Structure 1
């Protein structure tokens, strides 16, 4: 059940006027998608993947974004990189400045150059990383700051490097549950604060260390706290334009809470990609203005 005090949290949001802002997304088709190795607790190479179904689910996600009026660019997949469909991990881009990825595991390291080349081709200034980081998997951009995860995939040193690369303050958050190995599995940015509304997030407290939970409470006292049940279907691996929240269809109670706060929910089914530990946000890199 979603953990939220309806007396002090839902009422102020029931009349909030949410506003969508057009976004620029980058995706990569799951042409080579498979679960060939295990680098997170979700992955089991003995469980078969339906490649055709994965492609259909991915394409429905792409069309959901297009139907909401957003721009979606598609990067060419690289043979031998089955996880390249998770485009969010390829870098962080804010205001025309990009910070490239440097993957923790050797199985994904060739993705970094492909994404960096793509971003340069878009006319972006890309800073080559010297520290391990996995792009928007662990960097979530708000208008006033970057929320940055560490503990499993991205180093603390990369947080400092990213702050310089995109010229935005970084708030470090420690992940402690290996099921939530990237920040984008434990936090959803609902409103980045770039419009008339303040920044708004949802998160699963159990994914974080005690001091990081305290940081989140202090920065976002009105945040949605999501239950373990919704977190374990990767309900927080969602993408929002400030009004419309595209999220996994199985995150039922989270979706109800979002609607009570004035958001429009757009549920999608990405069950095949979930077998590799990814969902909506993992498949979506945003080039933030």
Structure 2
């Protein structure tokens, strides 16, 4: 029997969600966005976390910041210490100030300003005793050392090579302290070899899983929430004893985000 650990998450309602620019291959401003559908999908995701016994904090969305719904990119939080994001693209840069204010107003005493570009839990994935860190498109590789100094955990650098999987959390998800699922073609050959050594029993996603950002998932050690269209991953997870909830995030996918992108864990 797998054991769930109660978590605290930070989420942001998609009140101003839109695809007004293109900073990743999923985004096409010519395709219309239905904000009401996006809100309904987001609410279903939040309610799923609450039903699993987790706590969900929310931050007020800011007009003109359509990607603020993707809270995972805002920071990395470990043992109450916060490393804020420094966004690569100007379109998202103003999100950092909104999140900085939220952390200060909610009692976080150790809030660090980054020196180098990092995009929070988009590229820093906490995996038990280590942090898996992505580089190649958004986060500077030098920021991996910055995170290691702040959190005192070993940081394993992984190189992303497919621009569709521009953040680590679009290509890899932690299921518990020692288990992951990932999509090998998103990584450089050396990073693939390293992942095979670290996680020989990992669940390997298919091309179809990757095409719906199925790896962009959240696990509490027992319950896994992921895009419902990732049917292969759903079956694999259930075969390993996880309880799986598939959710529809098709509207949010238009901006290149899914379940994990909307979820920042407050450790």
TM-score in terms of structure 1 length? 0.91
SS at match of 1:201: strand
How much has 1:160 moved relative to structure 2? Answer: 0.6
> Does the 8 Å contact 1:184/1:237 carry over to 2?
yes
Question: 1:125-164 counterparts in 2 under 5 A?
Answer: 125-164=110-149
In structure 2, which of residues 61, 74, 86 is the aligned counterpart of residue 102 of structure 1? 86
How much has 1:121 moved relative to structure 2? Answer: 2.3
Question: 1:187-198 counterparts in 2 under 5 A?
Answer: 187-191=172-176, 193=177
In 2, distance between residues paired with 1:243 and 1:282?
20
How much has 1:119 moved relative to structure 2? Answer: 1.7
Unaligned 5+ residue runs, structure 2? none
In 1, distance between residues paired with 2:62 and 2:115?
23
In 1, distance between residues paired with 2:165 and 2:18?
20
In structure 1, which of residues 239, 258, 271 is the aligned counterpart of residue 237 of structure 2? 258
In structure 2, which of residues 258, 262, 266 is the aligned counterpart of residue 279 of structure 1? 258
SS at match of 1:45: coil
How much has 1:122 moved relative to structure 2? Answer: 2.5
Unaligned 5+ residue runs, structure 1? 1-16, 194-198
Question: 1:111-130 counterparts in 2 under 5 A?
Answer: 111-124=95-108, 125-130=110-115
In 1, distance between residues paired with 2:247 and 2:24?
23
In structure 2, which of residues 188, 191, 196 is the aligned counterpart of residue 217 of structure 1? 196
1:64 and 2:48 are equivalent in the alignment: yes
In 2, distance between residues paired with 1:85 and 1:189?
21
CA RMSD of aligned residues (A): 0.7
How much has 1:120 moved relative to structure 2? Answer: 2.2
In 2, distance between residues paired with 1:115 and 1:88?
11
Match of 1:235 in 2: 214
In structure 2, which of residues 20, 24, 41 is the aligned counterpart of residue 40 of structure 1? 24
TM-score in terms of structure 2 length? 0.98
Match of 2:161 in 1: 176
In 2, distance between residues paired with 1:252 and 1:58?
20
1:90 and 2:74 are equivalent in the alignment: yes
Match of 1:6 in 2: none
Residue correspondences, number: 266
SS at match of 1:275: helix
How much has 1:169 moved relative to structure 2? Answer: 1.1
Measured against aligned partners, the alpha-carbon deviations of 1:87-135 in whole angstroms (never above 9, x if no partner) come to: 0000000001110100000000000111122122222211100101100
Measured against aligned partners, the alpha-carbon deviations of 1:207-246 in whole angstroms (never above 9, x if no partner) come to: 0000000110111111111111101100000000000000
